[in-house]
Amino acid sequence: MAAAAFLSARAAPALLPPSRRLSRRLVVSRAAAASASSSSGGQGGGGVEFQGKVGFLGLGIMGAPMASNLIKAGCDVTVWNRTKSKCDPLLSLGAKYEPSPAQVASSCDVTFAMLADPQSAAEVACGSSGAAEGLAPGKGYVDVSTVDGATSKLIAERITSSGASFLEAPVSGSKKPAEDGLLIFLTAGDESLYKRVAPLLDVMGKSRFYLGDVGNGAAMKLVVNMVMGSMMVSFSEGLLLSEKIGLDPNTLVEVISQGAISAPMFSLKGPSMVKAAYPTAFPLKHQQKDMRLALALAESVSQSIPTVAAANELYKAAKSLGLSDHDFSAVIEALKAKVQSSQQ
């Protein structure tokens, strides 16, 4: 099935009925998983309790460090990326390469996918030479991309029609947590596959949540990123206002870091934002995509989220300024441009 036709059938993003939401919420930290493994006689000290070959599709700003951590942990990893040159650093670490998602899925027991948007996620899973063509009973497909619930459910339908198992597992975290293996996995779908790949998730992340049926993981990720995007806009406004009234914005960052509204995001990004530097950890275009998907999700259940709607307009303005590939903290530049425009 062509991915374009696949996506055209999508309805507005929708959650499961309230009675079925988050029916079983399992939360496991890396420390808890390590303790359980140790007490049950499992491998420790860097060993991975997973028997089989692992595929990884998509080696961008997030996928590459995630796959790298699996290789360094001793996993047998096969990779694919649209731009083959992005596979080279992983191949130098010992990864294998296959020329299509279908061939990766065919040669591996479990395949992970980290794609940029719903269209790409559907194309790689369900398009021509997509992963679904290489799947079969006994295999698993874990989509760690950030997509809307409708896309995730449609991908799940195509994957499971092959006889394979499906798990959605979008991540909370950006480039540095991906590099450090400190991501948070928000999983939903086949619980047996969740348990099977848990050792791999623990290599790449610090904690994992099992949230029940497919769609709940995607929804949770959109709500988390919606809050994050709105927080960044408010923080940007605070930095600009403090400077405008003669305060040192660096001091503002320090004050915030010691109070009730302290957040690692503010401490990490604030100093760079003051210098108008936006090294990319999470691209602004992806943040705006998530705001757009969150707004569609809210619309599907008639929930008003006016703060998010206003913030989304600023991310769109920042994209129009050519800041799509900068870090999402570059949204502050849209606010600066707005002030300058009002003064002309």
Q: Has residue 8 got a pLDDT over 50?
A: no
Kindly report, residue by residue over 53-84, the tens digit of the pLDDT. 999 999 999 999 999 999 999 999 999 999 99
Residue 34 binned pLDDT confidence (cut-offs 50, 70, 90): low
First-to-last C-alpha distance (Å) of the chain: 53
Q: Where in the chain is the domain with CATH 3.40.50.720?
A: 49-213
User: Which CATH code is given to the segment(s) 49-213?
Assistant: 3.40.50.720
Structure tokens, 98: 């296959």
One of 153, 221, 269, 289 is an active-site residue; which one? 221
Q: Where in the chain is the domain with CATH 1.10.1040.10?
A: 220-336
Percent pLDDT > 90 in the chain is 84
> In a 3-state reduction of DSSP, which class is residue 172?
strand
For residue 206, indicate whether it is catalytic.
no
E strands within the chain?
26-29, 53-57, 76-80, 96-97, 110-113, 140-143, 165-168, 171-172, 183-189, 205-210
Q: How many C-alpha atoms does 50 have within 13 Å on its Cβ side?
A: 27
Residue 48 binned pLDDT confidence (cut-offs 50, 70, 90): confident
Task: From the options 3.40.630.10, 3.40.50.300, 2.40.240.10, 1.10.1040.10, give the CATH code of 220-336.
Answer: 1.10.1040.10
Cα–Cα distance between 44 and 38 in angstroms, integer?
7
Average of pLDDT values for 243-268? 97
Asked if 168 and 187 count as a contact pair (C-beta separation under 8 A), the reply is: yes
**Residue 301 neighbours by CB distance under 10 Å:** 12
